[in-house]
Amino acid sequence: MPAPLVSAVLGLWQDRPPEENVAVARLADELGYPELWIGEMATYDAFALATAIAGVTDRIDFTIGPLSVHARTPMTVAVGAASVANLTGRHVDVALGTSSDVVVERWHGLERGRPARTLEDHVVATAELLSGRKADLRTETVSTTGYRLRLPSPESSLTVAAFGVRAIGVAARVADRLVLNMVTPAAARRLVDELATAAEAAGRPCPTVAAWLPAAIDPTDETLHQITMGLVAYLAAPGYGEMFAEAGFGDLVEFARSSPHPKELFAAVPPELIDAIGLIGTADDVDDRIADYTAAGVDEICLVPATAGHAAERTLGTLAPG
């Protein structure tokens, strides 16, 4: 079984100093990681952060996203990616996803309608613009006419963040890569199989599969607290809740969907849950866990290193390529 590609992800942990993300990026670059995923949450703009990181690193390339297709237009994504590539000299790939109701509807004040259709239309339009061709597309959810990149094409690949059946179908039809977030090996196996079936039906090669996984080698109590805090918001979410229930945590999901106080929900999370969806434990434990994901069909292990208790240094250092 071939060894998977291993990349680093900026965790954008909401209970940690945002500047830690730059420190993690520098560490990943120094340790020889080939790729850094730069998402977007409540702090930095992803393109601005990528440009800043390029100024303090030497060689690491970027995948920017997943970016919300409801909050960013294909033109802004293409211009952003081309800008980062041109200003930094780094290779820039792009990831797109449907985000969440909280981000799209509450934060941006936009409608998050028809997520799968919007995702597919935006991937097609964004790919056209990133290629450097003049776009003239009018689909059900996207309209862009007459613009062509004035900067050189960044030659970006397109990754789709997906979890449900419809989004998996979108990835199979139009993406170069699928990224899964915080999945069990069993769920990864099922989703990889669904992707392969959908790609065959679409007459396309199956996209490669990446998985974002919280990671901590020899975690301290502080580290485990950080990872658990990051997990709590997903317990009641559609798709995630069902996956957690399938893994044996149905009572916890039911409790999460009863709208308990966040402190009560945090206290109810058993240690076994973060073990189920992450790379947590000794170096040998994590190696075994990576083997489980590789056996499930995951091509790229994307480490989301915890930072509390100096976990990022231990984790990225131990798992560094080469």
Which range of residues forms the domain containing residue 300? 5-319
User: How large is the average pLDDT for residues 154-183?
Assistant: 97
What would the pLDDT profile of 37-75 be if each residue is shown by its tens digit? 999 989 999 999 999 999 999 999 999 999 999 999 999
User: Kind and range of the H or E element at 20?
Assistant: helix 20-30
pLDDT of residue 105: 84
Distances, alpha carbon 38 to alpha carbons 5, 10, 213, 228, in Å: 17, 6, 14, 21
pLDDT of residue 1: 66
User: How large is the average pLDDT for residues 116-141?
Assistant: 95
How many domains does the chain contain in total? 1
What would the pLDDT profile of 237-293 be if each residue is shown by its tens digit? 888 999 999 999 999 999 999 999 999 999 999 999 999 999 999 999 999 999 999
Q: Is 104 within 8 Å of 68 (Cβ atoms)?
A: yes
pLDDT of residue 244: 93
Instruction: Quote the CA–CA distance of 46 and 163 in Å, as a whole number.
Output: 22
Pick 1 or 319 by higher pLDDT.
319
**CATH number of the structural domain spanning residue 296:** 3.20.20.30
pLDDT band at 118 (very low <50, low <70, confident <90, very high): very high
pLDDT of residue 238: 85
pLDDT of residue 110: 83
Alpha helices in 55-161 (DSSP H): 74-88, 101, 115-130
pLDDT of residue 158: 99
Q: Which of 104-113, 157-166, 268-277 has the lowest mean pLDDT?
A: 104-113
Say yes or no to pLDDT of 106 above 80: yes
Instruction: Quote the CA–CA distance of 225 and 304 in Å, as a whole number.
Output: 15
pLDDT band at 2 (very low <50, low <70, confident <90, very high): confident
User: How large is the average pLDDT for residues 134-157?
Assistant: 94
